[in-house]
Amino acid sequence: MRSRMDELLPLAEQNDGLVTAAQARALGIADSVLARLTQRGKLERVARGVYRIPYFPADPLSQYREAVLWARASHGPEEVALSHETALAVYGISDVNPARVHLTVPKHARLRRQKPKWIAIHRDDLPPSDVTTHEGLPVTTVAKSVMDVLATTGRLGLARQAIKDARKEGYITSAEVQRLTRQLSQHARSTQKAQAAV
């Protein structure tokens, strides 16, 4: 006879050992069963509505999957994307190593659960053209990610390195490199003017 854990395993395999309460309910597994499995150490509650099977091997992208599942859990928005420095890390462009997972959600999205300290939320209504899937994760495009990092941190050197690495990896075309380089130059000029005016 199949156990409840046997039913959860195929879901967990798709998400690096993570399952949501909503996914479990869709399989006919009640929240009380999840609570019991957690008490017995078969599941680990990582955030409200998100559970991990402890013996699953950790993947370098697990924390990113966990952040996306956290945002979507309990009727959260589906249109979420890893963004800013986190997106650059997912692509493996630049040597950025963000302390928190950056996630962009729609401006009016309701996130009812308490936000884990390791997640940084940005609000923006992203058009589909600004979001792609990389390594099975929803992530902002290279161009959007670079401009977001520049807008929030002002780190011109990081943005340039990300563009160079993205071109080398084949994520962007030479035309996109030229367009982004022009945008960086415009940003640098407007920053210099603003500083000169102070």
Instruction: Provide the residue ranges of all domains of the chain, joining segments of one domain with +.
Output: 4-52, 62-197
The answer on pLDDT for 167 being more than 90 is yes
Per-residue pLDDT of 169-194, as tens digits, reads 999 999 999 999 999 999 888 877 77
| Start-to-end Cα distance in the chain | 73
Rounded Cα gap, residues 160 and 146, in angstroms = 9
Per-residue pLDDT of 4-51, as tens digits, reads 888 888 888 777 788 888 888 888 888 888 888 889 888 888 877 888
How wide is the angle at C-alpha 124 spanned by C-alphas 194 and 21, nearest 5°?
145
Confidence category of residue 129, pLDDT binned at 50, 70, 90: very high
Rounded Cα gap, residues 25 and 40, in angstroms = 19
pTM across the whole model: 0.74
Rounded Cα gap, residues 191 and 110, in angstroms = 34
Rounded Cα gap, residues 6 and 56, in angstroms = 14
User: Could you tell me how many residues make up the chain?
Assistant: 198
Residues 6+ apart with CB under 8 A from 81: 87, 103, 104, 126, 130, 131, 138, 139, 140
